[in-house]
Structures are given as C-alpha cells and as structure tokens.
Amino acid sequence: MDCCRKMTDKYLLAMTFVYFKRARFTIAEYTRKNFFIALYLANTMEEDEEESKYEIFPWVLGKNWRKQFPRFLKQRDKLWVRIEYRAAVSRRCCEEVMAIVPSHSVWQRERSAHHSGAQRQYTDRDHIRVPRGPLASPVSCALCRCDTGLDQDLGPSSAQTPNATYPHLFASLLPLETTPPRTAASCRKAARTKSHVQPSSCCCAKEVPRAQSCGSALDTSLDWISEE
Amino acid sequence: MIVDLVRSGLSPSGSRAHWFHTLQVRPRGRRGRSNSDPLGGTGCEGDAFTWGPGLQFRAAQSYLSLEKLGEGTYASVYKGISRINGQLVALKVIHMKTEEGVPFTAIREASLLKGLKHANIVLLHDIIHTRESLTLVFEYLQTDLAQYMTQHPGGLHSRNVRIFMFQLLRGLSFIHQNRILHRDLKPQNLLISYLGELKLADFGLARSKSIPSQTFSSEVVTLWYRPPDVLLGSTDYSTALDMWGAGCVFIEMLQGAPAFPGVTDVFEQLQKIWTVLGVPCEDNWPGVSLLPNYRPEWFHQSEPKQFRAVWKRLNQLPHKTEDLVQRMLTRVPTDRISALEALKHPYFSTLPPPIMHLKDMVSIFKVPGVRLETEVRDIFNPGRRIKPSLLLPAAKCW
C-alpha cells in the first residue's frame, strides 16, 4: 500500500483518469489492468524519482512480475499511442477533474512536502530498491507511517473484472484515507508554500466508501480533458 | 530501424532521382556555409513538393533519411526529407530496448512538444512508432548556437546577440507560461535557421512543473549552465533554473567563451561562480547555509566583482546589457528575473516595437527591420573581410 502516496497521490490519479478519457476507453476497458497501465504512464511523466513506480509491477502483475513487466511496459507504450502521445496533463486539467467530485476521498490523497521536490539520491545509490510487493507494502517513512493491515488492498488480484461504473473504479482499487477534506484554495496555497502541508497521520478506512453519485456530470462533454 | 525502412521504401523514378541528387550535391557544409548569410538558405525548404499521393503521416516510408547528424544520449539524429511535402526534417530515432519500452525521456519529450507550438520551439511534425524504434520527426534547422559560435569565434555581433537573446527568452517565456522547465539549456540545444531564427530543442530532460508535489531530479542541466541553488543541493527549483542557463548563454555569445567553464565537479563549479558573484551568506541569501552542499569554509573568500571586469565585452556595450546579465545571473533563484520580465528590459528597446506583440507562431523575422547582421569573423570564409574600421576594434578587444 502506498501510504506515502508516492505513486498514487491525487494528481497522479487525476492524470490516470484523464488518460482513460483521452483513450476513449469503452466501459469494458475500465479494468484494473488499464488503471495500473495509465497510473504507470502518469508516473513516467511526472516523477523524476524513477524507482518508486516499479512498485506498481507487483501490484498489477503479482508474484511473477519480473517475467511480465516488459509486456506491461509495451502496454503502457500502446496506451501512449492511443492517447495520441499526449501524456502531458496540466495542473489545471487535474484540478478540473478533481472538481467534478471534490469531496471524493481519492482527491484527499495529498502528498507530503517531504516527498516532493528534488531528491538527493546519494543514499539510494548504494542499493537498488526492488519492489517489495505483492505481499509487502513499499517501505513507509516515519513521517507517513500508517498503522494498518490493509496491504492486500493493492495486492494482485487474479480476477480481471471490468469495473463498469467508472466513479467507483478508483474507490474499489485504492485504500482510502479519511483525511479532512481541504478546499481547492487551501490546497493551492499549501502547494505554493509546501511547508504548510502537514504530514498527515493516515488512518486508513476499513471500508471503501462509495463515491457520491456523479454519473450525470461525467457523461456530459469533457472535451477540455483533451486540451493538454 | 527507421532508416532501413525508409530506404527500402524508396523507388526512385526519374524526377525523384533528380531531386534526390539535387539534395545530395547541396553544399555539404550544413555547418560549413555561413548561417548568417540569408541567401545561403534558399534551398528546397520553401518549395512544396507533393510527392506520392498515398503517403501519409505516421508512416516510416513517408520520410527519407539523408545523412547522420549526430548521436545523442538515447537517440541518433538524421537529416531527412519528407516525401509528403518535400520539406527537410530532422529524424530523431530512438532505439527501444526490448525490456524497457519507450525511454521515459522520449515519452516526455514527445508529449510535451505535442502541446508546444511556438516560433521559438522546435516543431514536432510527426511521430513514427514501430516495433524496434520510435522516430520523432522535427523541422530541420541548419545549425545550432554552439556551431554558430564555433564558426564565428571571438564573440558574436552585439545586434545578433540581442536578436538571439530575444528569441531565447521568448521561447522560455512561452514554455514557462505553460509551466514547463527545459532543464538542459546550452548552446547545443538552441537550433538556428539560416535566417537567424533560434529555437529551443531537446526536451529530453524537460518536464512539467505544473503539479506541485511531484519528485524532481537534482541532476539536471549540464554543469556549466547549472545554477548555484541547484549546485548547492536545493530541493526546490522552478523556472529560475532555466534563466540562469540563459544568462550563461548570453555571456557566451558576447565573449565567445563559456561564462563558467572547465570544471568537473559541483564544488569546483560553485567556486567558479563565487569567484565572480562572491560567496553567499545568510545576510544576502537567507537559508543558504542550510543547503546540503554549503561549505562554511567558503567564508573570507572572494568578494563580488563587477561583471564588466570579468567579461570584458560588457565594457564596450551600453550599461543596460550588463544590467540584464546581472539580473539573470543572480545567486538567489527568487531574485532572478523571469523570462517575461527580461523581454521587457531596456536592453531590447532598440528592437522594432511590433516585435513585442507577435502571435506565438510568428517569427520575429516577419517584423520589418529585423535581420541578422553579418558576423565579423567567419572561419569558413576568412577572406570575406568587411570594413576594417569595424574589424579593428573587435580584434583589439576580443
């Protein structure tokens, strides 16, 4: 489980959603696999720290991820082609996605300041970080440590069930924290002065809350998603 | 590989063969002839060939590879020609390792450039994706600033420096407004057309700085052009990163030599910068002593120097030139001038005013009165001397 939100913070998840729209996935393509492929592409675009995203391999591919990841990367490349190579997503676009259902717990997945910015990598060079999944979570840091036994939530699932109702897609895949919602304005402010972002004590919900009904808003034109 | 593919797709008819021959016998000096000579560029670029109705974008056979231009870190670059419209193109062929798929640098470069259409950003025409390779098809430009400076040593014509700087800042201002950092500014990555159009290229290290909390590498920018805050290990950088590099390029164009050259590690590079700007302290840079690479023993060392004492060419130019350089080469990143502010600096006030109100895709050379001057020195054309009166002070001072 990504308790530090290094590969699944709210912006990366919003980008994942944008890729689904840009790819014009059919409902049947709203799958767990495609979710992770899109999430991996979002990490490819945004994260300079390259190793964190490798944790996604065991989540999506299970124990045999070492054999299967080259194929997974080809699928990422295919998705990139399908979205016509437009993997860049602006912050504004992400924020508009979040604004569809701003109170959704997925959008509370704020990354702490100590996991942002330029990372010195001297310490990491001594050893290559190998993904710990699917049976263990990534190493969590002292500041974000969450006390939970919900590791299996992001573990591999053999079933490739298509997830038809899209707003629940993320909800059904991610362990969600019950963090007090922040207004968009305060998020922006927090982003500007990163020190304001609290290393939140994550207490993971035992149950996955259902998203508010928002289907109607989503079926309307979302053309702006295609704009950069 | 794309080159083989495009070659195998070639079946020259008579006219094609003739046209191909014409290209081959063009003066081979892509870099050889003077790029400051606008007439040098009247080749095929302007002509619109319609060549094969079945040819389309995204197809390898639509491009013909002519010659290898260079080898990059993750790609080979070829000069080529589009069989769709006869335009010259640069083909950046990225070889894919079977296990890794498309390198992330290529994914970023293509994705970012897809959304960046501007007269001072290299234009991405097309993308060809095959099993073995990914080819980015760019517009072709005759040279780059590094080669241009090699061809015209000893510093460039001050008016040309102004024209190049304006375009560099215009391109930077555009990408920064789009919240994108280039992160690898250097003369090699600034392409120049025969007219003198300058375009930012090589977005392999570039990334979006739009989303607030994402991770950033501190290993960015070639050492000589890397700003002191990043050298000191600052964990937060933004558009000011590119402005330092632009300031270094400014000096390099004036002097004909890099601003802070010849060092191999971070500490030597910092020392080089302190020699000119002085060692920073908490008084003039709050928080500097907390940065990872800060060394207290730097105290009692160099005092700041006047730029014109270090870079002599500034002595011969109006004070506003030095002023702009100083605002770009400022130690504290938040104090560094932005690209948009720099465009409004008095240094550019001698350019025709319409230059300030151009649409994104319009080249500054569309503005009447904007043209490149002939450079004083040209190593490929040493006999072409212009008025001695112009040459003499130059020879004395550079």
pLDDT by residue, tens only, chain A of 228 residues: 677 777 788 899 999 999 999 999 999 999 999 999 999 999 999 888 777 888 888 888 888 888 889 999 999 999 999 999 999 998 889 999 999 999 988 888 877 666 665 554 444 444 566 777 677 777 766 666 654 444 334 444 434 444 444 444 444 444 333 333 333 434 343 333 333 333 333 333 333 333 333 334 444 456 667 765
Higher per-residue pLDDT: B207 or B110: B110
φ, ψ of residue B88 to 5 degrees: the values are: -75, 145
Q: Which of B72-76, B212-216, B344-348 has the lowest mean pLDDT?
A: B212-216
Contact indicator for B204, B74 with CB cutoff of 8 Å: yes
Contact indicator for A43, A66 with CB cutoff of 8 Å: no
pLDDT grade for B52, boundaries at 50, 70 and 90: low
pLDDT at A155: 40
Domain that holds residue A99: 1-110
Name the domain count of chain A: 1
Rounded to an integer, what distance in angstroms lies between the CA atom of residue B319 and that of residue B334? Answer: 23
pLDDT grade for B99, boundaries at 50, 70 and 90: confident
Residue A60 domain-assigned? yes
- Does the predicted interface ipTM exceed a cut of 0.90? no
Number of CB atoms found within 10 A of residue A3's CB:
22
pLDDT at B263: 77
SS3 state at B194: coil
Start and end residues for every CATH 3.30.200.20 domain found in chain B: 1-7+35-40+61-140
C-alpha distances in angstroms, A178 versus A105, A113, A197, A208?
Answer: 7, 19, 16, 10
Residue A213 domain-assigned? no
Report the chain B residue with the minimal C-alpha distance to residue A40: B104
pLDDT at B35 over 90: no
Q: Per-residue pLDDT averaged across B236-261, rounded?
A: 95
pLDDT at B48: 44
Rounded to an integer, what distance in angstroms lies between the CA atom of residue B154 and that of residue B398? Answer: 6
B6: distance to nearest CA of chain A, Å? 21
φ, ψ of residue B155 to 5 degrees: the values are: 100, 145
Contact indicator for B244, B277 with CB cutoff of 8 Å: no
CA angle, residues B96, B100, B104, in degrees to nearest 5:
80
Residue A205 domain-assigned? no
pLDDT at B60 over 70: yes
pLDDT at B299 over 70: no
pLDDT at B7 over 50: no
Contact indicator for B122, B138 with CB cutoff of 8 Å: yes
Q: Per-residue pLDDT averaged across B371-390, rounded?
A: 73
Q: Which of A71-80, B64-73, B250-259 has the lowest mean pLDDT?
A: B64-73
CA angle, residues B61, B65, B68, in degrees to nearest 5:
150
pLDDT at B248: 98
**Does pTM surpass 0.95?**
no
Phi-psi group of B154: left, alpha or beta (phi > 0 → left; psi -120 to 50 → alpha; rest → beta): left
Q: Which of A148-157, B83-92, B178-187, B292-301 has the lowest mean pLDDT?
A: A148-157
Q: What's chain B's average pLDDT? A: 82
A56 contact residues in B (CB cutoff 8 A): none
Q: Which of A38-42, B82-86, B197-201 has the lowest mean pLDDT?
A: B82-86
Residue A161 domain-assigned? no
Alpha helices in chain B (DSSP H): 2-8, 14-24, 104-114, 145-151, 158-177, 228-231, 240-255, 266-277, 307-310, 319-328, 339-343, 388-397
**B210 vs A86, A90, A121: nearest CB:** A90
Q: What are residue A167's DSSP bridge partners?
A: none
pLDDT at B303: 82
Of B37, B126, B144, B184, the active-site residue reads B184
Q: Per-residue pLDDT averaged across B322-332, rounded?
A: 97
pLDDT at A121: 44
Q: Per-residue pLDDT averaged across B34-61, rounded?
A: 54
Start and end residues for every CATH 1.10.510.10 domain found in chain B: 143-366
Q: Per-residue pLDDT averaged across B189-207, rounded?
A: 92
The dotted CATH code for B143-366 is 1.10.510.10
Asked about B360 being catalytic, the answer comes back as no
Q: In this predicted model, what pLDDT tens digit does every residue of B126-168 receive, in sequence order?
A: 999 988 889 999 999 999 999 999 999 999 999 999 999 999 9
Alpha carbons within 13 A on the beta-carbon side of A96: 15
B115 contact residues in A (CB cutoff 8 A): 86, 88, 228
pLDDT at B75: 87
A80 contact residues in B (CB cutoff 8 A): 102, 107, 111
**A91 vs B107, B211, B217: nearest CB:** B211
B231: distance to nearest CA of chain A, Å? 11
pLDDT at B26 over 70: no
The separation between CA B336 and the C-alpha centre of its own chain, rounded to angstroms, equals: 20
Report the chain A residue with the minimal C-alpha distance to residue B233: A120
Contact indicator for A70, A61 with CB cutoff of 8 Å: no
Which residue, among B99, B104, B111, would best test binding to A if mutated, counting the most A CBs under 10 Å from its CB?
Answer: B111
Class of domain B1-7+35-40+61-140: alpha beta
Q: In this predicted model, what pLDDT tens digit does every residue of B273-291 receive, in sequence order?
A: 999 999 998 988 999 999 9
Question: Between A and B, how many residue pairs show a Cβ–Cβ distance under 8 A?
Answer: 120
pLDDT at A143: 66
pLDDT grade for B210, boundaries at 50, 70 and 90: low
Rounded to an integer, what distance in angstroms lies between the CA atom of residue B208 and that of residue B222? Answer: 19
Q: At CB < 8 Å, which residues of chain B contact A?
A: 98-102, 104, 107-108, 110-112, 114-115, 127, 129, 178-179, 207-208, 210-219, 230, 233-237, 292
